[in-house]
Amino acid sequence: MYFAERWIPMKAIINHFLTIKPMQKKAHWYQQIGWMIIIWSLSVLSLAIIASLFKLLMYSAGMRTH
């Protein structure tokens, strides 16, 4: 009985992911490229911020280049 009680929610989850859904309208190529550029730019910006923070921490700890 315990297995049957636990199977019902699992069956609902499995059915949700296995049902055939209607095709969604595909985005235009320029929208996809735009999202790629935005994501890439934000990742480069975040890496620059993190690198600057590390540089600031190293500088404040006395690790100077000259």
The whole-model pTM stands at: 0.55
Q: Please give the Cα distance from 50 to 53 (Å, whole number).
A: 5
Percent of the chain with pLDDT over 70: 85
Q: What is the pLDDT of residues 24-54, one digit of tens each?
A: 788 898 899 999 999 999 999 999 999 999 9
Strands, E, within 1-66: which ranges? Answer: none
| DSSP label of 61 | T
Residue 14's pLDDT is 79
Question: How far is the CA of 66 from the CAs of 2, 24, 46, 62, 63, in angstroms?
Answer: 70, 58, 27, 11, 9
Q: What is the enclosing helix (H) or strand (E) of 44?
A: helix 29-60
Residue 6's pLDDT is 58
Question: How far is the CA of 28 from the CAs of 22, 23, 33, in angstroms?
Answer: 18, 15, 9
